[in-house]
Structure 1
Amino acid sequence: MKKHRLAIVRQKYRPDGGAERFVSRALSALSNQNLELNVITRQWQGEKQDDWHIHICDPQKWGRISRERGFADAARKLWQAEQFDIVQSHERIPGCDIYRAGDGVHRRWLLQRQRILPGWRGQMLMLDRYHRYVMDAEKAMYEAPELKAVICNAEMVKQEIIEDFAVDPKKIHVIYNSIDASRFVPADSMQKLALREQLGIPANAVALCFVGSGFERKGLAAAINAIAGTDRYLIVVGQDKAEKQYQALARSVGCEDRIRFCGMQKETLPFYQAADGLLLPTLYDPFPNVILEAMACGLPVITSRTCGGAEFIEQGTNGFVCDALDISRLREAVMAIPALEYDNKMGMAARHKVMDATPERLSSQLITLYHTLLG
């Protein structure tokens, strides 16, 4: 029986990225199906499975627009020459069969970003040549006759795509990210104590963690302001070239001594296990994996309405959802998170909520979709 050839397009493959984890779980799941697996990428980092075919596609680039356009043109040329049976793109490239909208809708992100910029800079954002290019490419891709299916990781993104691009809802499939709940587990008391000692956080304090790089988008300024004026600690995991500005902000609002900047970490599990909750007031995020990881570790989650992960939060039961910039509501939520050591009802409800989001479920949803398209 002839193998069907599936190509997955991702410009830069780095193992710690959310889209990449989705890709690698999908590819691992598909390796026992009757599919030949191909990846089209500019650069591949990380382990390569024996049966994956990696196609390096790295045209010269002179700037952001040339980087995007160059890769799009070269990747499309490559997949047309190879005549793959299904092309699933994680980049906005017109002509793919399946698009995975892991980054959401670009205009929606810009609208949220405008809220934190001075008026004139906010107006310039929509006129910026690079952002115009991305929005035009996105529109062209949704309107392309080749597009057969869209994969979203949240209902929020599905609705945005329907509203902004009039895509037939039947084409859009919500497939939530998965979590390995046997690896992301709550810590026991002794583990937690040891982890807190390393971070210099008192055993009886309530500590929240913030996990994510790109601090502006993920809402670190709001998280720091929400912690200010409380007795809560904040563990910051992730990197940003403006980190010093956030340290200065913590100093200026008087909570520097209760914030731990831990930088980029290969292994995030210990940081969840040291905390009592996740604080992620992200400006715009389709569905960050960190929400599933934290919930699997038994942490209640505080996040924003413009985060697809809010779909997993039941207000007051396993976390809180409020506007990304509503500092007083965020602070109330921060104060409503109990020390898990004494009251883990919210934490257990959070873990229970994500137990269905298994890699097996994600795989079977993907395989069903591929078979439908190939059928």
Structure 2
Amino acid sequence: MATSRLAAARPDTETEQEDRRSSPPVDVTIVAHDIGPVGGMERQLSALLLGLRSLGHDVTVVARTCELPPDSGVAFHRVRAPGRPFLLAYPWFIVAGTLATRRRRRGVVQATGAIVLNRVDAVAVHYCHQVGPATPSRSSLLFRWHVRAAAILKRLGERVCFRANRPSAVVCVSEGVAEEVRSYFPGLADRVVTIHNGIDTVSFAPGTRSVDSQALRASLELADGALVAAFVGSEWERKGLEPAICALALSPRWVLLVAGAGDRARYEALAQELGVGDRVRWLGVTSDVQLVYQAADAFVLPSAYETFSLVTYEAAASGLPVLATPVSGVAELIEDGRNGFLIGRDPDSIAARLRQLAGDEQLRDRLGAAARESALAYSSERMVLRHAELYEKLGRRAAAHQSKSAAPRAG
């Protein structure tokens, strides 16, 4: 099964890539909430937009924020809408984004994570809210109520969006998400296409920032030779920070780096209770996740639910052995025992693999090298080319439809 997955994700040949690069330019409009260097979907959109521009396509963005280089050539039209609180920001963007899209749209239109009521050509699904769990990052009753209310609103918005958008293509970031969409929206099943997220395999590569990573380890007061496991992501309850910390208590040679946002006080208390408080380092939210991977010896993510798990692919590209649960995206990349380990969410399962890695440097090197090799099939360049190919098809289809509609009727 794993072999077929890798075969399906093979890199394009040079001829295929050149054919797409020589294709005529297409006007593309992307509608989103935010685009920038922080957040999985936000970073993917940044790579997509810059990649489309490099191929010569004209790109328009309708979004609340867009952090791209000033010389990117992307036409940005700001949606005047608040970012929080969610229960206000979400419906506000629906109205403001719909009006802005009506005024600013050009060519092929894709909505990514943003709910608007316009007819669009494609909807990109990074998260199916009909399935994805609502996991509060803080424990207060008010915050948990807010998260549950937001989840209900997102599920309703998703249904309204698909009905109003009437997309010709539903672009899913993994086969797992594609199956979820087909299951919950069977009327769209024949429009579903999978285009995996892409990673910067040049930036995320072993040994590219050795000096910086050593400096980070020194600043965190890590002893020479200390084994470091990286945990990257927010929504810590869903992503399994608790079992990761519990596993640390059973793996005495390891230190855990935690990058992301969550209820830090709660998890710090857990680490102290287990006697591993001095072996957890809290990095907070960072836009320089490459450095986190460079400073680590393994990557751990015992997540309950993912749609693609971009951080897993980035860690693999960085040459780290991956310990992760077989959720969507991960199951398409990791072959147990070849380029990482598929684990459960129980601390014993995680700790057993950490101890195995601790005692075998050659195993760490072998798994890391294989992980890097597997991740190369999911480059940002390939992701951009797949999208460009789709937009060209949608553009031709729309042009043919308009031509047919404009043709005079006989008689």
Corresponding position of 2:195: 175
Corresponding position of 1:272: 293
2:383 is aligned, of 351, 362, 365, to: 362
> After superposition, what is the alpha-carbon deviation per residue over 1:339-370, rounded to whole angstroms, capped at 9, x for unaligned?
78544111111011011222221121011100
How much has 1:309 moved relative to structure 2? Answer: 2.6
Q: For the residues of structure 1 that align with 2:194 and 2:336, how far apart are their CA atoms?
A: 22
Rate the CA distance shift 1:340–1:354 in 2: closer, same or farther, 3 A. farther
Corresponding position of 2:204: 184
Corresponding position of 2:409: none
Q: For the residues of structure 2 that align with 1:145 and 1:8, how far apart are their CA atoms?
A: 14
CA contact (8 A) 1:7 1:87 kept: yes
| Structure number, greater radius of gyration | 2
Q: For the residues of structure 2 that align with 1:59 and 1:270, how far apart are their CA atoms?
A: 33
2:249 is aligned, of 209, 228, 242, to: 228
Counterpart mapping for 1:190-205 below 5 A: 191=211, 195-205=216-226
Corresponding position of 2:67: 45
Q: For the residues of structure 1 that align with 2:214 and 2:387, how far apart are their CA atoms?
A: 41
Match for 2:293: what amino acid? Y
List alignment gaps of at least 5 residues for structure 2: 1-23, 397-411
List alignment gaps of at least 5 residues for structure 1: none
How much has 1:373 moved relative to structure 2? Answer: 0.5
1:292 is aligned to 2:292: no
CA contact (8 A) 1:322 1:330 kept: yes
Rate the CA distance shift 1:235–1:124 in 2: closer, same or farther, 3 A. closer
Q: For the residues of structure 2 that align with 1:87 and 1:189, how far apart are their CA atoms?
A: 38
1:93 is aligned, of 116, 119, 124, to: 116
1:106 is aligned, of 129, 135, 150, to: 129
Match for 1:109: what amino acid? G
Q: For the residues of structure 2 that align with 1:189 and 1:150, how far apart are their CA atoms?
A: 38
Does the residue aligned with 1:177 lie in a helix, a strand or coil?
coil
Counterpart mapping for 1:223-262 below 5 A: 223-231=244-252, 232-240=254-262, 242-262=263-283
> After superposition, what is the alpha-carbon deviation per residue over 1:231-274, rounded to whole angstroms, capped at 9, x for unaligned?
1211112233x212211110011111211112223322232122
Match for 2:272: what amino acid? R
How much has 1:68 moved relative to structure 2? Answer: 1.1
1:141 is aligned to 2:161: yes
Match for 1:107: what amino acid? Q
Q: Which TM-score applies when normalising by structure 1?
A: 0.87
1:164 is aligned, of 167, 184, 187, to: 184
Rate the CA distance shift 1:35–1:181 in 2: closer, same or farther, 3 A. closer
Q: For the residues of structure 2 that align with 1:277 and 1:356, how far apart are their CA atoms?
A: 21
CA contact (8 A) 1:276 1:337 kept: no
Does the residue aligned with 1:293 lie in a helix, a strand or coil?
helix
CA contact (8 A) 1:110 1:125 kept: no
Root mean square deviation, CA, Å: 3.0
Moved over 6 A (4+): 123-126
Corresponding position of 1:332: 352
How much has 1:4 moved relative to structure 2? Answer: 4.3
